[in-house]
Amino acid sequence: MTHLSDDSVVICECFCRDGLQHEPGILDVATKVSLIDRFSRIGFHRIEATSYANPTVIKQFADASEVLRLIHRAPGVYYKATCPNPRAVLRALEDLRRGCGPNEISILISASDSHSRKNLKRSRAQQWDNVREMMVLAQGHFRVIGTISVAFGCPFEGAVPVQRVLEDARTLYALGVRHITLGDTTGMASPKAVRALFSALLAELPEVIAIAHFHDSRATALVNCMAAYEVGVRHFDSAIGGVGGHPHGLEYGGGYTGNTCTEDLVGLFESCGIATGLDHDLLIATSKECETVLGRPLESRVARTGWNPLAQTIGE
């Protein structure tokens, strides 16, 4: 991943990790592999493929190594695995030695102590110790994405100080992280807050590639993506059908918790003349396949209504 030289964007498809962690049913390996291979064909340059979370806690990803072994890897595509602790990085390294590991991992820190204890079962201080150890293990083996959860507000503590988020970003940068995700974990962000925080991050750490990760809990994900784009963000996370949220069985935030919907985000960007480089027909076909796999209608408006027929002429 590099800084983009034009106005186009890179979207990371998160259905098979952040999406599926919210699902009570366990998808089989063959289905996950088929979906990830579809995402590669659609043209995603980053795909969140799985997680090395403790399989006794999040059973959905007990098959992480098998999924990574069986996918067909497209040239130039990064296949990411989430790593919540050093043990997870060791598993990623073992898979790498077998020739089937991820080429990108994400490491996690919560911007609030309460969320850290709820989500990661440890304090922020304890998780920072983990992050330092993970970076020592990961250096030179993977591209590392540093994710700051609840960066725009915590469901337990409320407002999160901007300076705390920036300090977390500075610490990640000092450890060698050059790709930093700000996560709106329960959909508290507003366009005003998004512009302010990403502007501050990019001004303070101009070498960092900033990634926007929004949840649509309050129907603000798309406007927040546009706000981030307006201040220079070109990398975004989303999930087909808007699926996802906190891990199944772990309740916080309440209500609807889904991710930014990929189809709708692509439709919005391209209606504004912003290229995503994705295959529209295959994306909609895959959206329908995801509905079949999960056995229910998903949240995409574009999948229901179709692409904007004026998208090619808007702005001309």
pLDDT band for position 247 (50/70/90)? Answer: low
pLDDT of residue 314 exceeding 80, the answer is: no
pLDDT of residue 3 exceeding 90, the answer is: no
Q: Per-residue pLDDT tens for 293-303?
A: 999 999 999 99
pLDDT of residue 144: 98
The mean predicted confidence, pLDDT, of the chain is 94
The type of residue at 201 is L
pLDDT of residue 290: 98
Q: Can you tell me the mean pLDDT for 56-84? A: 97
pLDDT band for position 57 (50/70/90)? Answer: confident
pLDDT of residue 252: 58
Q: Per-residue pLDDT tens for 179-229?
A: 999 999 999 999 999 999 999 999 999 999 999 999 999 999 999 999 999
Q: Which domains does the chain have, with CATH numbers?
A: 10-305 (3.20.20.70)
Of 118-122, 156-160, 252-256, highest mean pLDDT: 156-160
